[in-house]
């Protein structure tokens, strides 16, 4: 029970960390002189798809680093931990996508402050869903979860270079797709 209380506090703190890292990652590609390797993992344009990368690396990094750093201290179950990290990532991406499309589609508007709040909401709900899953969910083999996470990363890298010509991948600023 003690560990779950500590995890709840750590998850609450992680929301701010992931939010700040994700927000900062919006600018990394340009700040690094548009390095190709950076563009594989961080947003390269203003498409909705690329903005999902704001969640990708910060969230995976937090769950992974936290496990490596604290697994022994808090006796974390590796299968439940990486199952939960996958749940958190997918939940956050789903919330970010669906909320963005609902508000832009329903109201035909787009405001930066609302986009930022949607990102914060996605991180918050994703992290708490991951915690909920850790507490109550069914564990899955951590190797399979890590494989799925790696496949998601590979998908993002692939779509950076070969995005389909769908609205999700359209850079609203330039009118282009991918790199």
Q: CB burial class (10 A; 0-12, 13-18, 19+) of residue 39?
A: buried
* Position 156 confidence tier, pLDDT thresholds 50, 70, 90: very high
Q: What is the pLDDT of residues 102-153, one digit of tens each?
A: 988 788 888 889 999 999 999 999 999 999 999 999 889 999 999 999 999 9
Q: What is the mean pLDDT of residues 66-91?
A: 96
Measured between alpha carbons, how far is residue 150 from residues 26, 29, 77 in Å?
21, 21, 20
Sequence spans of domains, the chain: 2-169
Average pLDDT value for the chain: 94
Contact yes or no for 88/63 (Cβ under 8 A): yes
Portion of the chain with pLDDT greater than 90, in percent: 85
Query: Does the pLDDT value for residue 1 go beyond 60?
Result: no
Q: What is the pTM of this model?
A: 0.92
| Cα(81)–Cα(146) distance, integer angstroms | 11
- Helices 78-107, 53-70: crossing angle, 10 deg rounding: 160
* Residue burial 82-105, b: 16+ Cβ < 10 Å; e: rest: bbbbbbbbbbbbebbbebbeebbe
Give the C-alpha separation, 131 to 108, whole Å. 34
């Amino acid at each position: 029970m003690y560990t779950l209380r500590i995890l709840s506090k750590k998850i609450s703190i992680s929301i701010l960390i992931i939010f700040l890292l994700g927000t900062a990652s919006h600018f990394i590609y340009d700040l690094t002189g548009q390095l190709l390797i950076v563009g594989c993992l961080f947003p390269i344009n203003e498409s909705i798809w690329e903005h999902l990368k704001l969640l990708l690396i910060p969230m995976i990094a937090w769950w992974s680093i936290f496990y490596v750093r604290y697994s022994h201290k808090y006796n974390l179950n590796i299968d439940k931990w990486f199952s939960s990290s996958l749940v958190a990532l997918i939940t956050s991406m789903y919330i970010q996508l669906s909320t963005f499309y609902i508000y832009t589609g329903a109201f035909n508007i787009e405001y930066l402050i609302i986009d930022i709040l949607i990102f914060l909401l996605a991180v918050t709900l994703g992290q708490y869903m991951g915690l909920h899953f850790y507490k109550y969910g069914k564990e899955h083999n951590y190797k399979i979860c890590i494989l799925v996470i790696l496949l998601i990363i590979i998908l993002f890298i692939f779509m950076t270079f070969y995005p389909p010509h769908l609205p999700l991948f359209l850079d609203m600023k330039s009118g282009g797709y991918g790199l």
